[in-house]
Structure 1
Amino acid sequence: MKTIAGALAALLLAYGAPVMADEAIPPSLSELMAQPSYQQSWKQALQGEKDLPLWVRSGQGTSAPPQTLTWQGKAYQVGMVCQPHNCGNRQLFIAFSADRRQAWALRVTLPDSDAAMLQPAKYARFQWLGNPDASLKALLMQQVTSQPDWK
């Protein structure tokens, strides 16, 4: 009887754990940006911008779940999306208002060189998207400078 109970417990753990793990993973920023409520504000932020790569226009790239934080008394969802297979050189730091009606971003581009990878602050080119005010620029820049390899 103990053997059957042990076998059943092992089966439940083996088959139940992946389901529970899937439920615990929050959606990535790219997954959220595929939702209509995010798409609308993202498209509005990019109005008038030309020559943006497709991954920036769509917001689809490599990303982790966004963080919700309060900046100067206002709530934002912030995160980073990067170009697939080129995360070190092509990054997009994004902030959405808590109601998802507005979006702002800072596009960071680095040249493909060892020097740029060693000292990204020295070689980075920045492009503001969504017309952020000074406070939002500070929020987005803080997201950039808090990256572990930003020097």
Structure 2
Amino acid sequence: MNSAFASWQFWAVLSAMFAALTAIFAKVGIENINSDFATLIRTVVILLVLAGIVVATGQFQNPGEISGKTYGFLVLSGLATGASWLCYFRALKLGNAAQVAPIDKLSVVLVAVFGVVFLGERLSGANWLGVALIAAGAVLVAYRV
């Protein structure tokens, strides 16, 4: 596998790019539809695409071999994802994509804080400065004069 495809940075940049496109496509897509129903359509599409990827790449795993702890945390993650998507689409329905998306990305700040508090991760002074700049930048981009 090419080293770029094996790096977390490559996939993180793609994630950011697709997240940006998500905001733009969703803003146009929810123009004449209820935001919760739009989220349902998006979720069905994701489910079908992921099922196809898992089957096509032979990544299916025996569900009986997965631990209860893994199931529990994946269910919690799924619930958090669903809540996030519902809130995000509702915010997009009511606000401008260029303002909603930066506030949504305050999740980066929260992940840093939660990672330190709950996972015992450590951030350097420079890392904390970056977190503070992300927070300030998100607020400034979302702020309407």
Normalising by the smaller structure, the TM-score range is: under 0.3
Higher RCO (CA-CA < 8 Å; seq separation 6+): 2
Instruction: Give the greater-gyration-radius structure (CA).
Output: 1
Structure with the higher strand share, 1 or 2: 1
Structure with the higher helix share, 1 or 2: 2
**Normalization by structure 1: what TM-score?**
0.25
